[in-house]
Structure formats: C-alpha cells, structure tokens
Amino acid sequence: MDTTDLSNQEYRPIVVYYFHFKDPELREPYWSVKQDYVACVMARNVKEAQEKVQAMLCGSHLKWMGVANGKPEWVDEEMPLGTRKIMPHGGWKNRP
C-alpha cells in the first residue's frame, strides 16, 4: 500500500501492541508483567498509528509487536489502554 498519498484514506481505529525498552538497541527491557502495552489510535494506516503511539509515549524506545483493528470506543490518543478504565489490566480475558 502506498502511504505517500493519505488524502483518500479514511481514519479508522488501530490497536498497536509494543514493548518498552530502556536503551535504543532494545536490549534492556522496561516493562512490567502487570501492564499490557497496547494503544488504540485513529489513523489512516499502520505507519501513522505507530507514529502517533511513538509521540504519545514521548519518543520512548519501542519494539512493535503487532497491530489489529480496533473499535471506536477503545480509542485513547492520550494514554495507553489499561491506564484508564477502558481495558482491565491483564487483558480482555479478565474483563468483568
């Protein structure tokens, strides 16, 4: 898919999975087993979604683990999912 011309594409919710690292070489982990590292943003393509997540996390060292389609009610472009009451810690399987 050509990502140079984004004017014809529509925004859609995209879930981005990632891991934090302390160093730019991605050798020293900086994540907790209690935290899901996932964000959902409105973007036109995966590259734009990853850029939004990178900006949301203030340029952290991230390793992209995957992407998925999201739902509009999951979108939070200020914080990763799970830090508010959108998704419970531990993922959707533990949802009440």
Give per-residue pLDDT as tens, 38-88.
Answer: 899 999 999 999 999 888 887 678 889 999 999 999 898 877 776 655 444
Q: What band does 91 get if pLDDT is binned at 50, 70 and 90?
A: low
Q: Is residue 57 situated within a structural domain?
A: yes
**Could you write out the DSSP letters of every residue in 27-39?**
-SB---TT---EE
Report the relative pairing of strands 38-43 and 61-69 from DSSP bridges. Answer: unpaired
Q: Is residue 25 situated within a structural domain?
A: yes
Q: Is residue 51 situated within a structural domain?
A: yes
What residue numbers bound the domain in which 44 lies? 12-83
Give per-residue pLDDT as tens, 11-34.
Answer: 999 999 988 888 888 887 776 654
Amino acid at 79: M
Q: Is residue 90 situated within a structural domain?
A: no
For the chain, how many structural domains are there in total?
1
Q: Is residue 91 situated within a structural domain?
A: no
**Could you write out the DSSP letters of every residue in the chain?**
---S--TTSPPEEEEEEEEEESSTTS-SB---TT---EEEEEESSHHHHHHHHHHHTTT-EEEEEEEEE--GGG--SSS-TTSSTTS-TT-GGG--
Q: Is residue 68 situated within a structural domain?
A: yes
